[in-house]
Amino acid sequence: MIVRRLILWTTLVVLALVVVAACVLFARQGGFAPFRVPTGTGPPVANDATTLARGEYLVRLGDCAACHTTRGGVAFAGGHAFDTDYGTLYSSNLTPDREKGLGDWSADEFRHAMRYGVSRRGPLYPVFPYEHFARLTDADIDAIYAYLRALVPSANTPPANRLAFPANSRSALIVWRMLYYRPAAPMSATDRGQYLVEGIGHCAMCHSTRAAGDSVPSKGYLAGGILVGSGWYAPPLDADSLRRYSSSELADFLRTGTSPHGTVYGPMAEVVYSSLRALTAADAASMADYLKRIPPHAPPDMRLSARERFGGNSGDFGNNGAEIFKRACAECHGDNGEGKGGHYPALTNAVATRAPTPINAVRIVLYGAMPPTTPGNPRPYSMPPFAQQLSSAEIAAVVNYIRRNEPQASRVAASDVEAMAGIVLD
Ligand code: HEC
Ligand code: HEC
Ligand code: HEC
């Protein structure tokens, strides 16, 4: 009798605790407010020329077109595919088409989607960087809305998502939100650089260390990490990691994609090409100024999966790296990797050299790279691919050579290079 009572009471207490925990988590993701999507037409927003120009600029900085356009498709008409660990997801049509796009959305509903990541379709997948756009002021969101409304409507229907259970259900996103999503309050735009970096620029989407569920814990914010859905590594953004740039070099780097200390490649090249090159000189300067004020992060404690870590396991890491470097690389990068004439980046402190993972270095040596053409860098110098010229063992040796000051654990062998060659990185 006593035993049965004890079991009953224990069960009740455990149940009560679970309910309390669920309520707390639900409250922390914003309670019911995110799910109260505004309906109706709402008050009109201004759409004078100044507002439209402001909206257009913000849309460039938010890189909306890059994610909401397919190759060769109508701009902003959606359908761009995103491969994730749980399947393929497609972006939505942002043109003012009444059926397929945002045609009958009020400014209130638009603001709600940007702030909370919930629309009439239900909770939205966090591939849409609403966690960052939530920081924008109402006036800026309204200007974006006004600009999108002025586009030519397109009736493009993005393909249906192909996602695995349970990610295929938007209700499952409520659980994800309870565990990982904490609403960010709108910022005041007093520190323009911080406002642009944290808000519309959504730099943290790529430059953060991710934890379970692809969430960004606060100490991972801008601490550097592997991009979700690709193998590229993005470095930390803070005073320490950007020390080698002066403020004005960094401001130029953001707009032109080039500097004496490094040039952009991979996903960052796309960001500069489709977005940051539109920065005004003043905004680039405030962003650079803010980036250089971010307190240094602790050394990365990255959740590298086996496919990202590579190296250090077994095999021959090659001891002829210096010789290969002299023969194949020094002509451009200098005998000691010090760079050349402002055209060819130094390798001594480059991102690919210092990253905790060798993947950027291997990838760039295999396939080469070309910085984007920008007004500040109209004829970019490119890095040739070496996949044909060098064997996997030679690539491993030369990458280990340029990364010789990095921990032993990130050395690569020929088999690692071959494994990386097979990864589709973008
Ligand atoms: C990194 C890629 C990415 C960027 C950048 C991006 N979006 Fe999206 N956006 C998406 C994806 C993917 C979806 C679909 C999410 C879903 O289906 O849950 C989406 C959905 C949306 C929605 C919800 C539409 C609906 O029908 O529910 C709105 C509104 C939106 N985006 C606006 C914007 C604006 C405005 C910008 C630029 C300021 C922007 N997005 C930038 C990827 C992106
Ligand atoms: C789509 C992902 C992505 C986004 C968004 C992104 N970056 Fe990057 N960024 C990268 C990657 C990957 C690298 C490493 C490759 C390189 O150096 O070009 C990088 C490199 C950089 C570097 C060079 C750092 C160094 O140590 O030399 C700076 C500075 C930078 N990003 C700033 C920014 C800022 C500011 C934003 C937001 C406005 C931003 N990035 C948004 C992916 C991204
Ligand atoms: C013809 C000139 C040239 C040669 C030869 C060359 N590179 Fe490069 N390298 C470049 C240029 C230009 C870039 C910048 C590419 C970009 O940003 O898209 C670059 C970028 C790099 C980077 C990325 C640096 C960073 O910022 O993270 C690495 C690593 C690198 N090269 C290594 C090598 C190695 C190793 C070799 C020899 C096997 C080599 N390069 C040969 C021109 C060259």
- DSSP letters along 349-389, please? T-HHHHSSSSHHHHHHHHH-B-PPPBTTBSS---BPP-TTT
Q: Are 364 and 352 in contact (CB under 8 A)?
A: yes
Coil, strand or helix: which one is 99? coil
Q: Is 408 exposed, middle or buried (0-12, 13-18, 19+ CB in 10 A)?
A: exposed
Residues near ligand 1 (Cβ within 6 A): 59, 62-64, 67-68, 82, 89, 91-92, 94, 110, 113, 119, 121, 124-125, 127-129, 133, 144
Among 377, 387, 417, 341, CA closest to 269: 377
Q: Is the peptide bond prior to 166 cis by the omega test (within 30 degrees of 0)?
A: yes
pLDDT greater than 70 at residue 148:
yes
Under the banding of pLDDT at 50, 70 and 90, the label for residue 314 is low
pLDDT-derived band at 41, boundaries 50, 70, 90: confident
Query: Do 324 and 390 form a contact (C-beta atoms < 8 A)?
Result: yes
CA–CA gap between residue 353 and residue 371 (Å, rounded): 18
* Closest C-alpha to 265, from 386, 351, 358, 328: 351
Distance 204 CA to ligand 2 centre (A): 9
Q: Is 273 left (phi over 0), alpha (psi -120 to 50) or beta?
A: alpha
Q: Say how many residues make up the chain.
A: 426
Is 241 near ligand 2, meaning CB less than 6 Å away? yes
Q: Look at residues 189, 229, 171 and name the one whose alpha carbon lies nearest to residue 205.
A: 229
Ligand 1 nearest-atom number relative to CA 173:
18
Domains of the chain: residue spans and CATH: 33-180 (no CATH), 192-291 (no CATH), 311-421 (1.10.760.10)
Looking up tokens 């930390």 gives: 236
- Is there a contact between 386 and 366 (Cβ–Cβ < 8 Å)? yes
Pocket-testing residue among 82, 268, 348, ligand 2, by greatest number of atoms within 8 A of Cβ: 268
Which pLDDT band, with edges at 50, 70 and 90, does 304 fall under? low
The finding on whether 143 has its CB within 6 A of some atom of ligand 3 is: no
How many other CB atoms are there within 10 angstroms of residue 416's CB atom? 26
Atom of ligand 1 at shortest range from CA of 61:
38
Q: Which ligand is nearest to the CA of 68?
A: 1
Q: For 393-400, what is the mean pLDDT? A: 96
Task: Kindly give the distance from the C-alpha atom of residue 224 to the centroid of ligand 2, in angstroms, as a whole number.
Answer: 9
Distance 238 CA to ligand 1 centre (A): 27
CA nearest neighbour of 230 among 264, 267, 194, 182: 267
Residue 425 has pLDDT above 70, yes or no: no
Beta-strand runs (E) in 72-209: 81-84, 87-90, 118-119, 122-123, 162-163
Alpha-carbon dihedral angle through residues 100, 101, 104, 109, given to the nearest 10 degrees = 130
Mean pLDDT of 89-112: 97
Nearest CA to ligand 3 atom 36: 329
C-alpha 41 to ligand 1 mean position (Å): 21
Task: Please answer whether residues 425 and 233 qualify as being in contact, where contact means their C-beta atoms are separated by less than 8 angstroms.
Answer: no
Best substitution site from 61, 67, 89 to test ligand 1's pocket, by max atoms within 8 Å of Cβ? 67
CA 419 to the chain's CA centroid: 24
Q: How far is the CA of 12 from the centre of ligand 2 (A)?
A: 51
Q: How far is the CA of 98 from the centre of ligand 2 (A)?
A: 36
CA 291 vs CA 204, 263, 296: distances in Å: 12, 17, 10
Mean per-residue pLDDT, 34-51: 92
Residue pair 321/401 in contact (Cβ under 8 Å)? The answer is yes
For residue 136, count other CB atoms closer than 10 A to its CB: 24
Taking CA atoms only, the protein residue closest to ligand 3 atom 13 is 383
Gap between the Cα atoms of 371 and 266, Å rounded = 9
Share of the chain above pLDDT 70, in %: 96
Q: Could you tell me the sign of the dihedral formed by the alpha carbons of 66, 68, 73, 79, in that order? A: positive
Greater confidence, 260 or 59?
A: 59
Per-residue model confidence as pLDDT tens digits over 49-81: 999 999 999 999 999 999 999 999 999 999 999
Ligand 2 atom nearest the C-alpha of 262 is 27
pLDDT value at residue 305: 54
As given in the structure block, the two tokens for residue 227 are: 């991009």
pLDDT attached to residue 222: 96
What b/e readout covers 20-46, taking b as 16+ CB neighbours within 10 angstroms?
Answer: eeeeebeeebbeeebeeebeeeeeebe
Could you identify the atom of ligand 1 that is nearest to the CA of residue 121?
Answer: 27
pLDDT at 302: 57
